[in-house]
Amino acid sequence: MVPGVRLVLLGKQGAGKGTQCVRLSRHYVVPHISTGDMLRSAARSGTDFGRQVAEYMRLGELVPDEVMIQVVEHRLDQHDTKNRGFILDGFPRTVHQAEALENLLNPRGLDLVLDLEVPTEVVLERLASRRVCSVCGSIFGIDNPPRRGAICDNCGGELVQREDDTEDSIRRRLELYASSTEPLISWYLDRRKLAAVDGLGVPERVTSRLIRAIDNRRHQLPDVGD
Ligand code: AMP
């Protein structure tokens, strides 16, 4: 089996992080940790916590750092991530979250942070066409349309638009990406953890670029463990 990895995927909303994380998680056999998916599932479950975070999500606002750090700390403490590693999708989104993650992961830290680069006009087009499976969460869109209309290729579930893929929420999320998350690119560059990868093209080609960047880095690491 391929040795585990500890990765973060950065990229604007609609850059293809979710799709690529699923593919990378199969390739490296590590859990895909999407904080957005975790919050959506909490919101669906209707708990107090779910109700609190649902409103932030609907408006496209960020859930407070301290809440998110606790959620991720708990998840990273599970057996699977401890053994194999993880691919983080949607976390960190602020420098404060990145600092907390660094503390949580001491002493080994992350192997690599990938910045999936896609121009804003392309992500806007992708977000407008994005549909997700209401049963299994598979993502479809302009670069990977479903074969049968609004039906999921993988499980036959109904494809729907994400509740926060509205014009106002998309604008707000992209603003917050620019002001709060983009600074992480230079933050990780300064720490020699960053690799930028072109996110344009069909999912298969983007995955090959990501794997190349990750494997290049792993060959440079003294001991990537298992
Ligand atoms: P995503 O699926 O990653 O686009 O996340 C959906 C929504 O969940 C975001 O618009 C935020 O409201 C919330 N969220 C997810 N991850 C984080 C995070 N790391 N920090 C703050 N809010 C988050």
Q: Each residue of 9-48: pLDDT tens digit?
A: 999 999 999 999 999 999 999 999 999 999 999 999 989 9
Residue labelled with tokens 């006009």:
121
pLDDT score at 226: 38
How many helices (H) and strands (E) the chain has is answered by: 10, 8
Average pLDDT value for residue range 79-100: 96
∠ CA 5-27-148, rounded to 5°: 135
The 10 Å CB-count burial string (b at 16+, else e) for 146-173 is beeeeebeeeebebeebebbeeebbebb
Backbone angles phi, psi at 5, to 5 degrees: -145, 160
Q: Does residue 192 have an active-site annotation? A: no
Interval 112-168: pLDDT, tens: 999 999 999 999 999 999 999 999 999 999 888 999 999 999 999 999 999 899 999
Backbone angles phi, psi at 107, to 5 degrees: -95, -15
Average pLDDT value for residue range 191-201: 96
- Of all protein residues, the one whose alpha carbon is nearest to atom 19 of ligand 1 is 91
Q: How far apart are CA 91 and CA 178, in angstroms?
A: 15
Ligand 1-lining residues (CB < 6 angstroms): 13, 35-36, 39, 56-57, 60-63, 68, 90-91, 93, 97, 164, 173
Backbone angles phi, psi at 65, to 5 degrees: -50, -45
pLDDT score at 214: 96
